[in-house]
Amino acid sequence: MRKQGETGTERSSESFPTGGELTRPSGQSNSRGKRPKRGAPARRPGGIRVLVMSDHALTREALCLLIRGQPGIRIVGEAQNDPNDLAAAREKPDVILIDLDSSRHDGFDFLSKITKKARGARLIVLTGAPPSEVYPVIRLGVMGVVSKEKPASFLLQAIEQVNFGEVWLDRSLMSLALREALFTNNADGTRQQDQIAKLTKREREVVALVGAGRKNGQIAEQLSITVTTVRHHLTSIFDKLGVQGRFNLVFSAYENGLASPPRIAPR
């Protein structure tokens, strides 16, 4: 059995700060116990609140057992993969961990329903499926995808990174996402251009900075506006472009030339 925190030679997952750079999960960025990046949500006194969802009771219990032993992370509830079961959480979760393989639902639509009901919570899915099969989930508000082939330390790091506002994806999954953003012909191109035309000059500046990996506080400082104003701009941008969440905004920006995608270094 691999000891807690040991990563061995596994190096194929990445945390992605929504547009800026790719960082390895080996402790070089936001390692547990280190000070979070500027713009990241502050740690709550009680730790990161996690809701575990799986249609398999044994899986839920195993995940809860793993997480309960970790400092700075605590379980606030467990439930089946049903949006209506979110009420099972004793407190509002910061992160929702979902066992994707156990779901009795057809397709991934239930994930978008969970995203809408759990406002503010960030989703991580745990799966044994190959990247090509789970790729669609990143369009449904999911911020982290963890392979069941990885050691437990990867899951624990993913919880922390996603809570900090970063996206945790396997390198091959990130490559698929960027490939679609850069090279896929968009059948709805005319409609998207009409939506983009509605953006003000200031909103375009905000989109570009989000695509460059800037957090709200950094955007406010660079544009000499308040964080509240940044939030208002983002709400307007989401509405005009018809996207859900910051991650989808980043890929929409890449697709439409509003921001430059990060460079993924060769392995």
The CATH code of the domain that includes 27 is 3.40.50.2300
Q: Backbone phi, then psi, for 147, in 5-degree steps?
A: -80, 140
Q: Are 210 and 240 found together in one domain?
A: yes
Is residue 261 situated within a structural domain?
no
Same domain for 151 and 80, yes or no, is: yes
Give the pLDDT band of residue 42 (cuts 50, 70, 90).
Answer: very low
Question: Residues 163, 219: one domain?
Answer: no
Residue 67 shares a structural domain with residue 103: yes
pLDDT tens-place string over residues 137-167: 777 778 888 989 889 999 999 999 888 877 7
Domain annotation covers residue 7? no
Q: What angle do CA 253, 256, 262 make, to 5 degrees?
A: 50
Higher pLDDT, 49 or 210: 49
Structural domain contains residue 264: no
- Is 143 in the same domain as 200? no
Burial (0-12, 13-18, 19+ Cβ within 10 Å), 129: middle
Q: Do 154 and 96 belong together in one domain?
A: yes
Confidence tier at 27 by pLDDT (50, 70, 90): very low
Domain finish residue from 156, 179, 202: 179
Which residue, 147, 179, 211, sits at the end of a domain? 179
Overall domain count for the chain: 2
Is 79 in the same domain as 107?
Answer: yes
- Boundary-marking domain end, from 117, 148, 179: 179
**Residue 233 and residue 108 share a domain:** no
Q: Per the structure block, which two tokens stand in for 47?
A: 């730790």
- For the question of whether the overall pTM of this predicted structure is more than 0.75, the answer is no
Same domain, 203 and 87: no
Cβ(4)–Cβ(153) under 8 Å?
Answer: yes
Residue scoring higher pLDDT (86 or 95): 95
The answer as to whether 5 is a domain residue is no
Residue 36 is predicted with a pLDDT of: 43
CATH code: domain of residue 210:
1.10.10.10
Torsion (CA) 11, 175, 155, 48 in degrees, nearest 10? 130
Coil, helix or strand for 76?
strand
32 and 163 together in one domain: yes
Residue 2 lies in a domain: no
Tell me: do 18 and 94 sit in the same domain. yes
User: In sequence order, which residues have a C-beta less than 8 Å from that of residue 187 and are 6 or more positions away?
Assistant: none
pLDDT of the residue at 188: 54
Which residues span the domain enclosing 214? Answer: 186-255
